[in-house]
Structure 1
Amino acid sequence: MAAATSPAAPEQTPKTPTSGPVPFNFSQPPIIEGFNPLPRAKDESFKEKLIRKTKENPFVPVGCLGTAGALMYGLRAFHQGKTRQSQLLMRGRILAQGFTVVALVVGVLATALKPKQ
């Protein structure tokens, strides 16, 4: 039997497009049509952000400290067996938590109603 030989066809490799947009560039943020992100003025540390937020709404940290203080003293009184004082301090803790929540809501509403600059 004679084998039929045919000229060898060159291997075809898929060609990569040399022109056109790259699907995604990992060194750049994605481009979303109709969305223009606001540039950040600067990145701030935790301490700077805490100070800025405390200046914006000083009642929230006061409420948090009041809540933590009432809780600590209430637990200490409970441990010492002073049940009446412990109950009063736990009620005070609830009031301090309520104060903190109201301060948060007022701060959010004030920020939402503040005119944009």
Structure 2
Amino acid sequence: MATPGTPEAPFDPSQPPAIEGFSPSIYRETESFKEKFIRKTRENPMVPIGCLGTATALTYGLYCFHRGQSHRSQLMMRTRIVAQGFTIAAILMGLAASAMRSRQ
């Protein structure tokens, strides 16, 4: 609370400061989850494929474990590790590609 004759605070602490010419996002409009998911999938489609493969191998491996098929369960857990590695590689390649695009 400012008393009469004293200057107000230069900014409201409950709001981020307004910096001229700075936008925290390159996108002017806010995106919904669905719009962002579609945009990110178009930018790097291998990541969702790797995630889906990982989830599928995990689910089927747990199902086989529950049914007592230990050999197949172990195979699916190894498959899950490969799918996770694929996903990590896809993320890293996407990051490298976006870094190369930003240099140009």
TM superposition score category, shorter chain reference: 0.7 to 0.9
2:36 alignment partner, one of 49, 60, 82? 49
Distance 1:112 1:68 in 2: 29
Question: Does the alignment pair 1:92 with 2:74?
Answer: no
Q: Which moved more, 1:88-97 or 1:37-46?
A: 37-46
Amino acid at match of 1:23: A
Give the length in aligned residue pairs. 99
Q: What percentage of aligned pairs have identical amino acids?
A: 53
Answer yes or no: is the 8 Å Cα contact 1:24–1:30 preserved in 2.
no
Larger relative contact order (CA 8 Å, sep ≥ 6):
2
Unaligned runs of 5+ in 1: 1-14
Unaligned runs of 5+ in 2: none
Answer yes or no: is the 8 Å Cα contact 1:77–1:85 preserved in 2.
yes
Q: Who is 1:17 aligned against?
A: 5
Amino acid at match of 2:93: V
1:55-94 aligned at under 5 Å gives the runs: 55-94=42-81
3-state SS of the aligned residue for 1:24?
Answer: coil
Structure 1 residue 69: deviation in Å? 0.1
Question: Does the alignment pair 1:105 with 2:92?
Answer: yes
The Cα RMSD (Å) is 2.4
Q: Which has the higher helix share?
A: 2
3-state SS of the aligned residue for 1:115?
Answer: helix
Structure 1 residue 24: deviation in Å? 3.5
Structure 1 residue 116: deviation in Å? 6.2
